[in-house]
Amino acid sequence: MVAASGTDARKTIHPLFVRVTHWVNAFAIFVMVLSGWRIYNASPLFGFEFPKDFTLGGWLAGALAWHFAAMWLLALNGLAYLAYGLVSGHFRRSFMPISLRGALHDVLVASRGQLNHAPGRYNAAQRLLYIGVILAVIVAILSGLAIWKPVQLQALTALMGGYETARRVHFFAMAAIVAFLVVHIGLAVSVKGILAPMFTGRAEAPR
């Protein structure tokens, strides 16, 4: 039997809504991280600063403007993504079940370039990473609000352990997001079939 060709051999695995919100989130996080590094440099928490060439905003006021603009973009777009994921069943189908042992196994196999990827299905490592980064983004936004409005949102700031503790929570949430990006991009580049469908939405249908 002759295999199907052309569009018959391909299927949509990432709906347009998922692709658009994914790339908008990626842009917003990129802007927030680089502008956040510039804000951090204005009052470092620890004994180091980020290289100025890897920061955004030029000066504190400029960095804050970029940071707040990206924050609202991330919050609104993220809420839309969460609502879609819950209502459509996308989260249940794509991210469940979660296995820590399976995720560690997939990362080790991917590091050797031997991880097989079924189009339209997240492997165990991707599932754990996506759930983790969603939680990290939520913590980053909440701790950021606690830092931004410590008086008006004093209950939230108190929940974070106070202003200075909220700064540290915000920093480590950012660090978790950056760590996710490093692993996520590494997997997207090293595992065949992950990256291209996030642009096209389509992949070869499994035989």
Give the sign of the dihedral formed by CA 91, CA 130, CA 25, CA 68: positive
Torsion of Cα atoms, 44 then 49 then 55 then 61, to 10°: 30
- Percent of the chain at pLDDT > 70 equals 82
Q: Among 110, 112, 119, which residue's Cα sits nearest to residue 185? A: 110
Q: Tell me the whole-structure pTM to 2 decimals.
A: 0.76
Task: Provide the pLDDT confidence category of residue 15 given band limits of 50, 70 and 90.
Answer: confident
Distance CA 48, CA 145 (A): 24
**pLDDT at res. 110:** 66
* Between residues 144 and 184, the one the model is more confident about: 144
**pLDDT at res. 7:** 45
Task: Provide the pLDDT confidence category of residue 5 given band limits of 50, 70 and 90.
Answer: very low
Judged against a pLDDT cut of 80, whether residue 47 lies above it is answered with yes
